[in-house]
Amino acid sequence: MPHPDRNLHSVNLPADWSPASWRARAAAQQPVYEDATELAAVQQELRALPPLVTSWEIFALKKQLAEAQEGKRFLLQGGDCAENFAECTADVISNRLKVLLQMSLVLVHGLRLPVVRVGRFAGQYAKPRSADGETRDGVTLPAYRGDIVNAPAFDAVSRRPDPRRMVKAHARSAMTMNFVRSLIDGGFADLHHPEYWDLGWVSHSPLADDYHRMVGSIGDAVRFMETLSGAEVYNLNRVDFYTSHEALLLPYEEAQTRQVPRQWGWFNLSTHLPWIGMRTAALDGAHVEYFRGIRNPVGLKIGPSVTPDQLLRLVDALSPDDEPGRLTLIHRMGAANIAEKLPPLLEALRRDGRRVLWVCDPMHGNTETTGNGYKTRRFGNIRSELEQAFELHAAAGTRLGGVHLELTGEDVTECTGGARDLTETDLERAYRSTVDPRLNYEQALETAMLIVRKQAQIAAPV
Ligand code: PEP
Ligand code: CO
């Protein structure tokens, strides 16, 4: 029986679903908790805590994503590969926000479209791993699965999956969200003052002149509009910012799944936009089962092994009503694979008339290990995958509506290349990630600039 949804669309609520129905399916990438009673007590505690987001914010984001699907907005989704408890600090949070605001400024100005800003933060604490265990010198311990599960140090106590960490992750997420909200409400994102977002590097960066010229022309445009209207342009004082994380650790996500007054269905109230990682996207797996029942907009990562038929079935499972804004497909094929793997998927969905938002993650298909043992990504490959994505979508008659990036506001050296042409030796200087290599602020801004250039080239081919 379809229920009228006063916000957007008619959706069928799955009758055979509950926040715990994933338990009947195979759940990949879950830790083994020793004490089921302790786990259940933690879940009970989490259920009673206030939610981190509200259903009306979730619907507001869904509406923006629906507009992005129609080509009226561009999605910028970015942040750390993994947050950790120690880096829940004012500097790390505000620097990351500064980079995302600077990038969105470049995108708004260059694409002439409003940007949907979604952070990979306030909950990005769980990580999929290639093996359940890790062996060093003949000793095998559980793999580090992110701070929400265990700690990275290689000893039995640190690596024991501890359910109490979920409560700490919830608290850290709330603190992060609270600080971001206060900064934005306090005027930090005010377009009249883009100098608040400077990170110190701007005076010596090869990109500084381009960026400052653009900020200057935006300032002129704002002043011009204000002169014309005789009033301040108030809606430039603040922007919307939404949150997202990989909803990997299902006992945590289940405990955050709630009903709210005057709305149909269930919401994951720990984040606005949860996504399914590539390694947990099995059609008959626990993650797809969990995601199909929540009303949030959802993301799905797709890698080079997905076939058009599998993708169509995943889209049917996750977005059976073709609801606007519901499904974002994040492809991460790798620069070497995208030209071969992406077009058949685009064609299958286009032929079927399915409504999705296509987003490119140019990071996760381009990870490699250097001769000196660092996990890195070459900026040239990231750039190549992104540029190819724009071209392949244009050729298929679909639209690339956003990017998904791993970045930080800190001055790290984790990815090679970029305007400063970082080398493998530079990686030794400031490699800080315990998981995937991130773009530093300069490489992130350069990425925003290359998106603008590429989009302009696609729109007006020479
Ligand atoms: C990630 O986004 O950090 C991640 C693990 O990506 P993927 O699921 O695409 O491998
Ligand atoms: Co990652």
The residues pairing with 118 across neighbouring beta strands, listed in sequence order, are: 77, 242
The amino acid at 105? L
pLDDT score recorded for residue 47: 98
Global pTM reads 0.94
Q: Tell me what the mean pLDDT of segment 401-420 comes to.
A: 92
DSSP H helical ranges for 355-424: 379-396
The Cα 406–Cα 415 span in angstroms is: 10
Distance 327 CA to ligand 2 centre (A): 20
Contacts of 341 (CB under 8 A, 6+ apart): 304, 333
Span 11-56, pLDDT tens digits:
788 889 999 999 999 999 999 999 999 999 999 999 999 999 999 9
Nearest CA to ligand 1 atom 3: 81
Nearest in space to 331 (alpha carbons), one of 392, 269, 274: 392
The residues pairing with 368 across neighbouring beta strands, listed in sequence order, are: 376
Crossing angle of helices 441-459 and 90-111, rounded to 10° = 20
Query: What are the start-end ranges of the E strands in 62-151?
Result: 74-79, 115-119, 133-136, 139-142
Torsion of CA 195, 196, 202, 208, to 10 degrees: -40
Buried b / exposed e over 316-333, threshold 16 CB at 10 Å, is ebbbeebbbbbbbbbbbb
Please identify which residue in the block is written with the tokens 């070497």. 336
Ligand 1 pocket residues where CB is under 6 Å: 81, 128, 246, 277-279, 301, 332, 364, 436
Distance 434 CA to ligand 1 centre (A): 14
DSSP-derived 3-state class of residue 111? helix
pLDDT score recorded for residue 9: 60
The Cα 303–Cα 341 span in angstroms is: 9
pLDDT score recorded for residue 6: 52
Distance 81 CA to ligand 2 centre (A): 4
Mean of the per-residue pLDDT values for the chain?
A: 91
Q: Measuring CA to CA, how many Å separate 424 from each of 19, 85, 290, 429?
A: 46, 28, 41, 10
Distance 148 CA to ligand 1 centre (A): 16
| Burial of 172 from C-beta contacts in 10 A (0-12 / 13-18 / 19+) | buried
Q: Tell me what the mean pLDDT of segment 270-281 comes to.
A: 98
The Cα 417–Cα 408 span in angstroms is: 16
The residues pairing with 327 across neighbouring beta strands, listed in sequence order, are: 298
Cβ(436)–Cβ(375) below 8 Å: yes
Domains in the chain (CATH in brackets) are 38-459 (3.20.20.70)
91-95, 105-109, 119-123, 212-216: segment of lowest average pLDDT: 212-216
Q: Tell me what the mean pLDDT of segment 82-92 comes to.
A: 96
The answer to whether residue 176 scores a pLDDT higher than 90 is yes
Span 207-231, pLDDT tens digits:
777 777 777 777 776 676 667 666 6
Question: Counting ligands in written order, which one lies closest to the CA of residue 245?
Answer: 1
Question: Counting ligands in written order, which one lies closest to the CA of residue 436?
Answer: 2
Question: Counting ligands in written order, which one lies closest to the CA of residue 438?
Answer: 2
In this structure, which residues have their CB less than 5 angstroms from ion ligand 2? 81, 436
DSSP-derived 3-state class of residue 344? helix
Angle at 45 between CA 43 and CA 47, to 5 degrees: 70
Please identify which residue in the block is written with the tokens 């001769």. 371
Contacts of 167 (CB under 8 A, 6+ apart): 42, 45, 46
Kindly state the percentage of the chain with pLDDT values over 70: 92
Q: Tell me what the mean pLDDT of segment 410-414 comes to.
A: 89
Nearest in space to 11 (alpha carbons), one of 2, 24, 1, 20: 2
Kindly state the percentage of the chain with pLDDT values over 90: 76
Written in H, E and C, the secondary structure of 156-198 is HHHHCCCCHHHHHHHHHHHHHHHHHHHHHHCCCCCCCCHHHHC
Span 255-271, pLDDT tens digits:
999 999 989 899 999 99
Q: Predicted confidence band at 460 (pLDDT cuts at 50, 70, 90)? A: confident
